[in-house]
Chains A and B, each alone.
Chain A
Amino acid sequence: MSAVPGQTVGPFFHLGLEFPQMNELVPPASPRAVRLHGRVTDGGGNPVPDAVLEIWQADPQGHVLRTPGSLRRDGWTFTGWGRAATDPDGHYQFFTLEPGATEQGRAPFFAVTVFARGLLDRLFTRAYLPDDPDLLATDTLLESVAPDRRATLIARREPHGLVFDVSLQGPAETVFVTYPRLRDAWA
């Protein structure tokens, strides 16, 4: 069966995709909250003010959650999924918990989806936690990426959270990923 092609989210996606607390996987004031944030830039280094990112992650214990409630947050339940639009400066932010490893010995990461006006199809990438160099050194994806591009997949730690910038094009272009059944669908 032929898969439906994607199309851009366009300039008016806020209308359909925004909802209250969409970027608050945990309340920002929660003592456990970390801020995952960054800027989305284009090939000219300009901010992309009309992008929208989604993250999907395990909980700190490494459990993949099957819990509804992402669209109507109750301030307590952690669902592992959130969405954030960029501001006029191309900046986005999430308040969340740090994902744990879903398997012993694997590097924990946020799965990230990127949409934007001007982007005709969505992009997938990963934002790894930066803390364990041994795990990162043996990660299948990171190992297979040219060394000078690996850093684009690893969030940077700062005092109150994590920074993950997304460069859609250019010298620091983020590594975007695809998966076997996507590639086959388009073969």
Chain B
Amino acid sequence: MESSQADINREIEAAAQQPGGPQPKIDYAPYRSSILRHPKQPAHLIDPESVELWAPAFGHRDVAVDEADLTIQHAGTPIGERIVVTGRVLDGDGRPVANQLVEVWQANAAGRYRHQRDQHPAPHDPNFTGVGRCITGPDGSYRFQTIKPGPYPWRNHLNAWRPAHIHFSLFGLDFTQRVVTQMYFPGDPLFQYDPIYQSITDPKSRDLLIAQYDHDLTTPEWNTGYRWDIVLTGTHRTPLDIDEDQA
């Protein structure tokens, strides 16, 4: 039988009582698709070697500057709240992750993805694809101009809705820092109902996924803005290596 939101809430509540940590629990049954898709054996701890001590290199030949503006990819203007999303990518030691690839994708203002598998009856926006890329600056900064995505329904349980979010794909200074995550918006009423967000059972760590509204990022008559700084795990390379690499 399909679970109700009340069932999921009870499971989320129960899981929150278990010892958890700052990373998502990959074994998290309230997110039904995770049940058969998480390894049951603990990850095997190794010292990185060879290519694992390096990250793949991307550069401006990979990404055009205007790929960071999701609002100019079509003839017309997309519908929705125009926003800037910006911040810095830092490694676990506070070092900027410069000259590295950031990829984002998201639903449109109505909560519809431009993807064949998204069949929920919210309108597509012919002027919005929902894909952006950029290369970080020397200080690790990234900046996207986009439209605030809407929340959308999914089939985890009856009447399941995801909080509005933007998917972020990030690379670091070495292979081990690779991460894909989701950025959320402050004060979303759907947080408490969402098993993907709640799979991170430590509230402080969960909060790291929420951008801050920043009035300094607004442009009169044009856009509001959100700031989201992203800290990756630490690099296994020595500072000397990295200085040479980034020089």
Contacts and interface: CB of A to CB of B under 8 A. Distances in A.
Interface of A: 1-17, 42-44, 46, 48, 54, 56-58, 64-72, 79-81, 99, 102-103, 106, 109, 111, 113, 115-124, 140-141, 144-145, 149, 168-169, 173-186
A185 B34 contact: no
**SS class, residues of chain A in contact with chain B:** loop
A107 to B, nearest CB: 10
Interface residues of B, number: 81
Contacts of B179: 4, 6, 122
Interface stretch (B4-12, B71-79, B109-117, B213-221): B109-117
Given A2-B205, A5-B205, A180 B45 contact: yes
Contacts of B35: 43, 118
B233 A185 contact: yes
A122 B105 CA distance: 17
Nearest to A116: B37
Contacts, number: 249
A144 B44 contact: yes
Contacts of B133: 71
Given A111-B52, A177-B43, A168 B37 contact: yes
A177 B42 CA distance: 9
Interface string B41-71: 1011111111111101111111100000000
Nearest to B114: A15
A87 to B, nearest CB: 14
B196 A8 contact: yes
28 contacts: A1-B90, A2-B204, A3-B233, A4-B231, A5-B23, A5-B181, A6-B24, A7-B180, A7-B196, A11-B118, A12-B105, A15-B129, A15-B131, A17-B169, A54-B178, A64-B50, A64-B54, A65-B57, A68-B58, A69-B61, A102-B49, A106-B50, A119-B26, A119-B34, A124-B176, A140-B49, A176-B39, A179-B52
